[in-house]
Structure formats: C-alpha cells, structure tokens
Amino acid sequence: MKNTEFAHKLINWYKIKKRDLPWRHTQDPYRIWLSEIILQQTRVAQGLPYYMKFIENYPTIQDLAKASEAEVLRLWQGLGYYSRARNMHFTAQFVTHQLSGIFPNNYLEIKKLKGIGDYTASAISSFAFGERKAVLDGNVFRVLSRVFGITDDISSTTGKKKFAQIAQDLLPKDESPTYNQAIMEFGALHCIPKNPDCNNCTFSGNCYAETHKQQAELPIKIKKVKTKTRHFLYIIFQYKNQLMLKERTEKDIWKGLYDFPLYEQNSTQNIAILQTIYEETIKQELSHFMIGKKIQVFSNQEFRFEVKKISGIVKHLLSHQKIYAQFLVLDIPNQTIFQKLETKLSAQFYPFETIENLPKPILIADYLKKHFF
Ligand code: SF4
C-alpha cells in the first residue's frame, strides 16, 4: 500500500466516523493544548467534562494565568498527574506575561514551553497552525505497527525515532492536520488495543497484523513500568465541624493538593503500634494510648484526644504507585490545643465548606465524602 493510499483511506474513514468534539471546532492553540493535556491521561468520555469546566472558568489563556494554582488544581481534581495542571498554569502565566499573551506558532518554539513534549507540540502546531508535523501518541504507534508490521520496541529511543520518521513520511502534503486527527481517531475507535474489528476495517487485506494474526502482539512495548508500594497512615484531627488539613509542598505525588497530617510507614501497621507512630509524629506530646478499651485515648497533661474512628486499609492505585492508606480520626475536645496543633504540625483547621473547595487527591476526597460530607 502506498503512503498516499494509506492517508486517503484514513481520511475517508475519519470523515464518516469522527466524533464531534469541541476542540475540533477551534484553532485556538490554548484550547487545543488544554484538550491534548487532558486527553493524555483520560478517555474522551471522562475528559470532556473537565475540558468544558476549564473553558467555562478560563475561556482564555490569560484567564488561566490569572487563576490561583489551588483553583486550577481543584478543577483538575480526579484527573491525576497534577504536575500537568501545575505546568499548564505556569506556562499560561509565562505566555501571558513573557510572550505578551501570544502563543508560539511553530513546533520548535511550542516545545520549549514547560510541560509540553513532542506529542503535544506536534498536535498544537498541526491543529492550530497547520504545520506539517506528524503526531505520535499511543494510538498512532498501534496503528502504524499493525498496518506496516513494525516490530521495534515503542518504548526504546531507537524505536521512537523510527516510528517518528515513518509517521512523518506518511503525512500527506495537503490536509496534514485532518490526517493527524484521523490516525489518532482510528486508533481510538477502530484499531483498538484488544479485539480490533479487522473484518470491517478499511485496511483489511492490506494490514500486516491482520494477515499474520499479530494484532495482540503489536505494538511491541518491552519496558515495564515499576510500581512502588507505599503505606500511609493519615491522622485526622476533628474539632466540631472542622478538620485539619495540610498542603503538600514536597516534591512528591499530589504537590499543591491538601491531605491530612500523614505518617508514611514502611509497611501497614496494626493498631497496637499506632502509639509509637503517633508519639513520633508529634514528638512526645502525647504519652498515653490505651488499647483494648472502648474509647482509646491519647493524653498527657496538655492534650487529650479521643480516637473516634480507625478505618480499614484502603487501596489506592496510581499509574506508578500502589498506596495502602489507613485513616485515624481523633476528636479534639476543646479549643485550647487548636493553635498549638496547627503550629506543631504546620497544618490548618478548615470548616467542612472550605474543605470542599480545596484541591484534594481522590483518595482524600472519597474518604471525606464517605465519612464526613
Ligand atoms: S485490519 Fe485490524 S489490525 Fe489492521 S488496522 Fe484494521 S483493525 Fe487494525
């Protein structure tokens, strides 16, 4: 099959089967950029409401630049990969203040922006500015490797280079933005990872994977992502309708989001050793933890807390991390220790209504929804 025939078939398929999506009706680089960043981590059905929410709240890049990081993260809540939202916010401010609000109009300049890699730069330059630049995402890797029988590892540098060259060679002279949309859409809707519909495919009879029955093997991806396991013990201090939360400022997952004072353990502990952990956490201020009674109490002369609730272990999966979390709710019976605790733990008490508006990891938002709101 000739390159022109491949492109022609794809574009014809696309014109009939494409989904009507809002970012396909615009050439505004900001909106295209936003859609691409959202779609890097989620499917269209889940990503669309986020896109609409962002556009409603921040119709222009200047509006996004004006927002606070916490507001942006709150809108992003649930999408994961929060560094992408932080980078987008940073770049919106950079374009607004350093580039006089003018988004760069070519691949090389776009790629210099923080948080924008090869794929996103190609997509923006193609869809917003019509640059003849091939996009290469997971869908494109799959379609190319299957149709043309390319067996290079898509996670290797050499494999990526080879695919990039082939993708660029296949780009038609005219209609390259439509072609780019078409190949991604074809991978997303027709040549899907499992059980693609080869019998009703525009490439049936011309496809390597179909002929050699290698749909399940292609594309080849050798590198395995390592998963890290972590054990979190969250201490939730409650005073009436206020809970203590803390902004995550470390270079770690969920930076800029709010969770409870956290003690990270090497493994999930059982209740019998919570005392030790707790005493370490707030440095000897609490000296006593009675176990085996109906109400367990941490106390010394200054502090006295009732343990209201201890959750079971909650498993939470991220792309590269497996988190086992346990929540311990402590009731604060009087206000005198309120500020002392805030200072000691560098955290703050917030009323429920305010907590609702803080950006939080889904693990925390779900827990709060189930037990407090
Ligand atoms: S024939 Fe099957 S494997 Fe080949 S492009 Fe079509 S759907 Fe994909």
Highest mean pLDDT among 207-211, 220-224, 284-288: 207-211
Residue whose entry in the numeric block shows the structure tokens 């290469």: 136
**Residue 373 confidence class, pLDDT cut points 50, 70, 90:** confident
Ligand 1 geometric centre to CA of 189 (Å): 11
Report whether residue 355 contacts ligand 1, using a CB cutoff of 6 Å: no
Measured between alpha carbons, how far is 357 from 350 in angstroms, rounded to an integer?
11
The tens digit of pLDDT for each residue in 72-96 reads: 999 999 999 999 999 999 999 999 9
Hey, which of 215, 217, 218 would you mutate to test ligand 1's pocket, going by the most ligand atoms within 8 Å of its Cβ? Answer: 215
**Residue 290 confidence class, pLDDT cut points 50, 70, 90:** very low
Rounded average pLDDT over 123-149: 97
Residue 10 and residue 179 in contact, taking contact as beta carbons nearer than 8 Å: yes
- Residue of minimum CA distance from atom 1 in ligand 1: 198
Report whether residue 144 contacts ligand 1, using a CB cutoff of 6 Å: no
- Segment (H or E) for 308: strand 304-310
Which residue in 162, 115, 161, 163 sits closest to 139, CA to CA? Answer: 163
* pLDDT beyond 50 at 319: yes
Which residue in 237, 242, 260, 250 sits closest to 341, CA to CA? Answer: 237
Pick 3 or 251 by higher pLDDT.
251
Report whether residue 146 contacts ligand 1, using a CB cutoff of 6 Å: yes
Ligand 1 geometric centre to CA of 292 (Å): 63
Rounded average pLDDT over 210-225: 92
Ligand 1 geometric centre to CA of 196 (Å): 6
* pLDDT beyond 50 at 333: yes
Measured between alpha carbons, how far is 219 from 76 in angstroms, rounded to an integer?
31
Report whether residue 323 contacts ligand 1, using a CB cutoff of 6 Å: no
Ligand 1 geometric centre to CA of 210 (Å): 6
Q: Which CATH class is domain 228-371?
A: alpha beta
Three-state SS at 194: coil
Report whether residue 65 contacts ligand 1, using a CB cutoff of 6 Å: no
Q: Which fold has domain 3-211?
A: Endonuclease III; domain 1 (1.10.340)
Report whether residue 207 contacts ligand 1, using a CB cutoff of 6 Å: yes
* pLDDT beyond 50 at 226: yes
Hey, which of 6, 10, 143, 147 would you mutate to test ligand 1's pocket, going by the most ligand atoms within 8 Å of its Cβ? Answer: 147
Average pLDDT taken over every residue of the chain? 88
Share of the chain above pLDDT 90, in %: 71
Task: Indicate which atom in ligand 1 lies nearest the CA of residue 209.
Answer: 3
Q: 117: which residues sit within 8 A by CB, 6+ positions away?
A: 111
Active site residues: 36
**Residue 307 confidence class, pLDDT cut points 50, 70, 90:** low
* pLDDT beyond 70 at 205: yes
Q: What is the 3-state secondary structure (H, E, C) of 216-250?
A: CCCCECCCCCCCEEEEEEEEEEEECCEEEEEECCC
Report whether residue 191 contacts ligand 1, using a CB cutoff of 6 Å: yes
Residue 244 and residue 341 in contact, taking contact as beta carbons nearer than 8 Å: yes
Task: Indicate which atom in ligand 1 lies nearest the CA of residue 202.
Answer: 6
**Residue 168 confidence class, pLDDT cut points 50, 70, 90:** very high
Pick 40 or 204 by higher pLDDT.
204
Pairing of strands 242-247, 348-351: antiparallel
**Residue 296 confidence class, pLDDT cut points 50, 70, 90:** very low
* Range in 95-104, 159-168, 196-205, 232-241 with the lowest mean pLDDT: 232-241
Rounded average pLDDT over 33-52: 94
Task: Indicate which atom in ligand 1 lies nearest the CA of residue 218.
Answer: 3
* Range in 182-196, 221-235, 305-319 with the lowest mean pLDDT: 305-319
Domain locations in the chain as residue ranges:
3-211, 228-371
pTM to 2 decimal places: 0.83
* pLDDT beyond 70 at 227: yes
* pLDDT beyond 80 at 53: yes
**Residue 288 confidence class, pLDDT cut points 50, 70, 90:** very low
Report pLDDT for 370.
93
Report pLDDT for 297.
40
Q: Is the peptide bond before 333 cis (omega within 30 degrees of 0)?
A: no
Ligand 1 geometric centre to CA of 181 (Å): 17
Rounded average pLDDT over 33-48: 93
Residue whose entry in the numeric block shows the structure tokens 């010394």: 300
Phi and psi torsions of 100, nearest 5°: 55, 30
* Range in 170-184, 198-212, 223-237, 314-328 with the lowest mean pLDDT: 223-237
Task: Indicate which atom in ligand 1 lies nearest the CA of residue 204.
Answer: 1
Report pLDDT for 304.
55
**Residue 284 confidence class, pLDDT cut points 50, 70, 90:** very low
The tens digit of pLDDT for each residue in 234-274 reads: 889 898 899 999 999 999 999 999 999 887 876 655 544 55
* pLDDT beyond 60 at 289: no
Cα separations in angstroms, 20 against 17, 49, 282, 302: 9, 14, 55, 63
Ligand 1 geometric centre to CA of 184 (Å): 14
Report whether residue 211 contacts ligand 1, using a CB cutoff of 6 Å: no
Report whether residue 204 contacts ligand 1, using a CB cutoff of 6 Å: yes
Report pLDDT for 315.
92
* Range in 5-9, 100-104, 168-172, 301-305 with the lowest mean pLDDT: 301-305
Report pLDDT for 274.
53
Ligand 1 geometric centre to CA of 127 (Å): 25
- Residue of minimum CA distance from atom 8 in ligand 1: 191
* pLDDT beyond 70 at 332: yes
